[in-house]
Chains A and B, each alone.
Chain A
Amino acid sequence: MENDSIVNNPLRALGLEGKAGGAGQSMMGLVMARAGLGKTAILVQLALDCMLLGNKVLHVAIGEGVDKTRAWYDDILSLLTDGEKIESIPEVMKNRMIMTFKESSFSKAKLEERLDDLVKQNIYKPECLIVDGYDFENNDQKSLEELRDFMVQCGLKMIWFSAVSHRGDKRVSADGVPAPCHEVDSLFDTVLLINPEGDNINLNIVKCKNCSVDPGTILMLDPSTSLIKQC
């Protein structure tokens, strides 16, 4: 199973494959959208890309169960590989761990403790981290900064967050990052925004420090599968 089997993988589309492939500075990215537009689907595609490049991924799902999160991977991979389940690709499976928290149980300290458990006992050393469901509205810049510093210390190559934006909230940052992340956008190297337009769903690249594409580029998503269409 090679990464080539995924034609339109998002890392390649963004020119970020090198980041996940080699060593170097950590990169922090953000996928934003209104509820129900496919943030998790994009995160899972990013995670699969990292996994297929041989990186270990830790998927932290806040407010979701393990089974549901697994189902996302199964669904996306089966769409990409014509029906194959991720469970049947053992070498890929080894590169994924799912950690789920109830909203009320999640805290920076808890995540740090869990990551410590994994890394210090040499159980699992993640190279990419996906955080789906982080509450940006009730966490300030300082706590996010601390979280990032900790992740950098852990030697993570890539960290992807998701955030929910709201139609009614018109606040945006100078770079065009909408609320509730408009005040913390400086912490992110890459910001992607899922944007419906008529019958299409676009993936707007709002900000992209190390990408091969320029900010303002729009990728198209397949509305039924949330996969990136041929571009």
Chain B
Amino acid sequence: MSKDLSKVRNIGISAHIDSGKTTLTERILYYTKRIHAIHEVRGKDGVGAKMDSMELEKERGITIQSAATYCSWKDIDINIIDTPGHVDFTVEVERALRVLDGAVLVLCSVGGVQSQSITVNRQMTRYNVPRIAFINKCDRTGANPEKVTRQLRDKLELNAHLLQMPIGLESELNGVVDLITMKAVYFDGASGENIRIEEIPAAMLDEAQKRHDALLEEVSMFSEDLMEALLEEGAVDPQLVYDAVRKGTLSLEFTPVLVGSAYKNKGVQSLLDAVRDFLPCPTDVVNMALDLNNAEKEFPVSNNPDDPLVMLAFKLEDGRYGQLTYVRSYQGKLAKGDTIFNRRTGKKVKVGRLCRMHSNEMEEIDACGSGDIVALFGVDCASGDTFTSEDISCSMTSMHIPEPVISLAVIPTDNKAQINMSKALNRFTKEDPTFKTFVDHETGETIISGMGELHLEVYIERMKREYGAVVTVGAPQVAYRETIGQRADFNYTHKKQTGGSGQYGRVAGYLEPMEEGEYEFVDKIVGGVIPREYISSCDKGFQKSLEKGSLCGAPITGVRCVINDGAFHAVDSSDIAFQLASIGAFKEGYLKAKPVIMEPIMKVAVEGPSEFQGSVMGSINQRRGMIIGTTEEGNYSVVEAEVPLSEMFGYSTTLRSLTQGKAEFTMEFATFKPVPKGVSEELIKKYQDERKNG
């Protein structure tokens, strides 16, 4: 049966690349006895760490990066939910953030708040995720937790305060001073597993006392009891401070900051304590669902096990027994054998097996309650689907999925790879709604499309690693769109008489631009000038026309097709005749409707030393980018710009050479915008040449 939810923490660990997330996760699993020896991450650079984590998974047969890694610390159960770091995976990031209740933001004590931290923090703020910060790598030369804490305040606008002081820094790092209990904590033993609590070293006592007082004063605003205790000027019960910090953290008005070095086994257990003490349990958090009967209007889910069931499938995994679907429950109860509804497909699903992930095995359970994270067996669904009981119709995620912005052709090297590739693509499209695949009928090539270069690279790598499908990859192509600029009328008659029964259909009406949405068909036919049975044929014809625009062969979006007149023939009219008439009508109207090519525009943030700001702005300008703003802090600056995706290929190399490798950039999809005339002409010419040359 469901457990005491106050003892559950569903958390995510987020970090900028190379802040030590892998090492920290490894230590957490070790101290919580999930694994029995510490395996070092060898590579010091970002690539090395990433590779190591994958090797590690293989070697250990555990999935550090899996959907929900479960561990226990003291009296609480912690589900560590994987939060994909890169912004390319927008939908996945957002889905992960919906599922977790709190987060640990890992920062490097030297690098501080970096671009990825800013992005992740922004997303967490958007989803009201309470967080604690862990300043890792305090053993590194140049470690400065004070500076990083200031950056948390200035750059991320968090009310961040250190709860600890490092005892020594860089190679001298020995332990931490707990500013709440006012004790020194040392981590002894080969792997730091033995915690030794001592008095604060005399040399640090004055400073520690000063900070202790300042901390108490700061958090007293969250607790009247603490405020009163402070006024009485006696010793303050640490529990009052814990409560105040927790309250501040949950209200997102306070961010506790802890320090340590996962690599040197310092401070990780204190971090786990902080997860227990300060991060929310499932019932502390308000989660919103969308009412499908009321135009996706938001409403809070109740967390009440007696209410109708609402749960979100947030990750799929291939297991020995078929598809394993990780779900997070938000209200209601689910028991083995229950029938639930997939609100995306409308299908009924019977829950056969239900389990909770444990150390190295799964524990079969009979039922689960709200706030739980469990896995379902053999349920056919996609990631992001919402399951509910019959009596409620809601969804935890919007049905709106952003359109992919980049595509590339994948060609399997042999027959075996072809089969494996199909399996892999089938799975990936289920997991990630922003990843799409189709076969280009003209070239016969399989095309994959997604939200960015890296997004697709990751899937190609996964195809190779997980499915043994080796593929050659074509050059990335920008996913252009076509749309219309103005209303235009059409009146087209399709007539064909070549012996036998003929084809006849006339369709009249107009096309007009739509601000939101991709396509709408409006039937304004009166008096039966087009018979009812052929109305859907017209719709089909228009939809076919939208597949490939005549300017550059890109799909057409943002068009409303309205039909208001037409004619039919008692014998020669048919489904196909009206489809062809509509295709002809669309062609006629489209060219008059000032069609334009739209291109994906990315929001780009380049972060680096100020001395390179001029060159960075220049490089963005050369790429048809529009600089929105620049931020300068000390010797660091950030340039924010909107740049067409087509101009961003190879930017990382350019940026590296411009800035001696000292700047980096992040990129996420912003919007579609019309391409300038010159580019449009080029694209049209290229498309026409391609068609000519077959």
Contact = CB atoms under 8 A, between A and B. Distances in A.
Interface in A142-178: none
A124 B621 CA distance: 9
Interface residues of B, number: 19
Interface in B601-640: 613-614, 617-618, 621, 626-634, 638, 640
B172 interface: no
Interface stretch (A17-25, A74-82, A102-110): A102-110
Contacts of B628: 66, 70, 97-98
Contacts of A117: 613-614, 617-618
B147 to A, nearest CB: 13
Given A93-B626, A117-B617, A102 B673 contact: no
Nearest to B631: A100
B632 A105 contact: yes
Contact of A121 (B154, B614, B640, B673): B614
A182 interface: no
Interface in A84-119: 90, 93-94, 97-102, 104-106, 110, 113-114, 116-118
B639 to A, nearest CB: 10
Nearest to A97: B627
Given A100-B631, A101-B632, A105-B633, A114 B613 contact: yes
A106 to B, nearest CB: 8
Contacts of B673: 90
A121 B617 contact: yes
A117 B615 CA distance: 8
A1 to B, nearest CB: 16
Interface residues on A, range: 20 to 34
A188 to B, nearest CB: 26
Contact of A102 (B154, B613, B630, B640): B154
A113 B633 CA distance: 15
Nearest to B642: A93
Nearest to B154: A102
Nearest to B630: A99
A106 B613 CA distance: 15
A66 B631 contact: yes
Chain B CB within 10 Å, residue with most, of A65, A104, A113: A65
A210 B41 CA distance: 69
A231 interface: no
B558 to A, nearest CB: 14
B629 A100 contact: yes
A195 interface: no
Contacts of B631: 65-66, 100-101
B617 A99 contact: no
Contacts of A101: 631-633
Nearest to A100: B631
Interface in B130-187: 154, 157
B210 to A, nearest CB: 24
Contacts of A102: 154, 632-634
Contacts of B154: 102
Contact of B634 (A70, A104, A122, A124): A104
Contacts of B626: 93-94
Given A102-B154, A123-B617, A66 B630 contact: yes
Given A121-B617, A123-B621, A66 B632 contact: no
A69 interface: yes
Given A90-B673, A114-B613, A121 B621 contact: yes
B634 A105 contact: yes
A94 B613 CA distance: 20
B618 A98 contact: no
Nearest to B157: A65
A100 B113 CA distance: 18
A123 B632 CA distance: 18
A70 B632 CA distance: 16
Interface string B650-675: 00000000000000000000000100
A152 B618 CA distance: 24
Contacts of B634: 102, 104-105
Contacts of A118: 617
Given A101-B632, A105-B633, A110-B632, A124 B614 contact: no
Contacts of A110: 632
B598 to A, nearest CB: 12
Interface string A177-201: 0000000000000000000000000
Contacts of A113: 614
Contacts of B638: 66
A116 B613 CA distance: 11
A123 B629 contact: no
A106 B614 CA distance: 16
B633 A99 contact: no
Interface string B343-354: 000000000000
Contacts of A104: 634
B173 to A, nearest CB: 29
A66 B621 CA distance: 19
A122 B622 CA distance: 10
B629 A97 contact: yes
A66 B157 CA distance: 13
B673 to A, nearest CB: 7
Nearest to A59: B629
B617 to A, nearest CB: 5
Nearest to A116: B614
Contacts of B633: 101-102, 105
Interface in B382-429: none
Nearest to B155: A65
Contacts of A124: 621, 627
A121 B618 contact: yes
A113 to B, nearest CB: 8
B675 to A, nearest CB: 12
Chain B CB within 10 Å, residue with most, of A70, A98, A122: A98
Closest 10 CB pairs between A and B?
A: A98-B629, A66-B629, A117-B614, A123-B621, A102-B633, A100-B631, A121-B618, A101-B632, A105-B632, A99-B630
Interface of B: 154, 157, 613-614, 617-618, 621, 626-634, 638, 640, 673
Given A106-B632, A114-B630, A123-B627, 14 more contacts: A65-B157, A66-B629, A69-B629, A93-B626, A98-B629, A98-B630, A101-B632, A104-B634, A105-B633, A113-B614, A114-B632, A117-B613, A121-B617, A124-B621
28 contacts: A65-B157, A65-B631, A66-B628, A69-B629, A70-B628, A93-B626, A97-B628, A97-B629, A97-B630, A99-B630, A99-B632, A100-B632, A101-B631, A101-B632, A102-B154, A102-B633, A104-B634, A105-B632, A106-B632, A110-B632, A114-B632, A116-B614, A117-B614, A117-B617, A117-B618, A118-B617, A121-B621, A123-B617
